[in-house]
Chains A and B, each alone.
Chain A
Amino acid sequence: MASGVKPRVKVPKTAAAGEAITIKTLISHKMESGQRKDKEGNVIPRSIINRFTCEFNGEMVIDVTMEPAISTNPYFQFEATVPEAGEFVFTWYDDDGSVYDEKKTIEIA
Chain B
Amino acid sequence: MELSRRETLALGLGAAFLTIMPLRANAAAEDAIAAFTGGADVADGGVTLTAPEIAENGNTVPIEVSAPGAASILIVAAGNPEPGVATFNFGPLAAAQAASTRIRLAGTQDVIAVAKMADGSFAKASATVKVTIGGCGG
Contact = CB atoms under 8 A, between A and B. Distances in A.
Direct A–B contact present (CB less than 8 angstroms): yes
A81 B95 contact: yes
A32 to B, nearest CB: 12
B15 interface: no
A43 B35 CA distance: 27
Interface stretch (B39-47, B98-106, B130-138): B98-106
Contacts of B101: 70-71, 74-77
Contacts, number: 97
B91 A65 contact: no
Interface in A45-92: 55-56, 59-72, 74-81, 83
Given A69-B82, A70-B86, A59 B99 contact: no
Given A56-B93, A59-B92, A65 B99 contact: no
Nearest to B32: A67
Nearest to A57: B93
B103 A64 contact: no
B96 interface: yes
Given A71-B103, A71-B104, A80 B93 contact: yes
A88 to B, nearest CB: 10
Given A69-B80, A71-B59, A79 B94 contact: yes
Contacts of A55: 91
B73 to A, nearest CB: 10
Main secondary structure on chain B at its contact with chain A? Answer: strand
Given A33-B104, A35-B81, A71-B104, A20 B86 contact: no
Contacts of A61: 90-91, 93-94
A81 B96 CA distance: 9
B82 A68 contact: yes
B89 A63 contact: yes
Contact of A70 (B90, B92, B102): B102
B94 A69 contact: no
A17 interface: no
A83 B85 CA distance: 31
A28 B61 CA distance: 17
B125 interface: no
Contact of A67 (B60, B84, B89, B95): B84
Instruction: Report the 6 A-B pairs with minimum CB-CB distance, sorted nearest first.
Output: A60-B91, A20-B95, A67-B84, A79-B95, A77-B100, A65-B87
